[in-house]
Structure formats: C-alpha cells, structure tokens
Amino acid sequence: MGFDKFGRKSFTSFTKTGKFVDLLAEGKVEGTVCKQCGAKYFPPRADCAKCLSKDMDWFELPKKGTLETFTTAMYAPFGFEADAPYTMAVVDFGAGVKAFARLAKDFSDPKIGMDVTVRPLKYDDGQITFEIAKA
C-alpha cells in the first residue's frame, strides 16, 4: 500500500508497514513494538526478529532525543541532485531506539549531543517523509 509516497524518492512500493506513511500524514512518526516480547523497532518492522512473532503494534517515538552523529552531503546520488547539499543524521532516543533522517532545511549549526526531535514533512510533489528538528 502506497509506500512509494515515502521519502524524496521511494524504492519500495509495498510493505506491510505501509501504515507508517498514513501515520506521517496524521502528523505522527511511529515505530512498531512486538505484542509478544515487547521489542521495539524503528524503523518499523512487520515481524519481530527477537521472538519471530507477527503480532505487532505501533508506538510513537519519544518527543526528544539527542543528535548522535551527522553528515552534510555536498553531492547527491542520481535522482536527488536538486536537494544537495543536505544533512543526514542519527538521533538516539535511548533504550535502543534510534532514527536516521535528514535534518530540517533550516537546522543551523548541528552539534553532536544536542537535543532534537523528529516530525513529519510533506514535499510539494506529494511525497511524505520525516525530518529532524531542534527540540
């Protein structure tokens, strides 16, 4: 279902976690949690790698995490050229939950360890993603 709408350009059309895109449209960035063993996953998974259960629920990412690392790409791969330069980063929410995304375009002077949050982002062409902003 509709996963080709995810990101600047999606390489995957169908996934059982396609609801992620609908949740983004509702303003939520969510991962999945295993109903059997409680393992949390971000990005979301439809199946649990720890106990092999298929019974998963959604959970909202914490509001605040810390910037673990980042890089500003001066060149972009094929299909992303118009966006360069852009900064990609990893956010650590603690308890083993992290997220990888771009920093918001207006995110100035990123520093490792600073407080950040993630939020949905809609592009003009209808694509939808999430980005990292200052908390």
Q: How far is the CB of 53 from other proteins (least distance, A)?
A: 18
Q: Output the CA torsion 42→23→20→7 (10° steps).
A: -100
**Residue closer to other proteins (CB basis): 27 or 85:** 85
Q: How far is the CB of 8 from other proteins (least distance, A)?
A: 6
Q: Are 21 and 2 within 8 A, CB to CB?
A: yes
Residues between 73 and 112 that touch other proteins (CB under 8 A)? 73-81, 83-84, 86, 88-90, 98-102, 112
Sign of the C-alpha dihedral, residues 82, 25, 50, 113?
positive
Q: How far is the CB of 67 from other proteins (least distance, A)?
A: 10
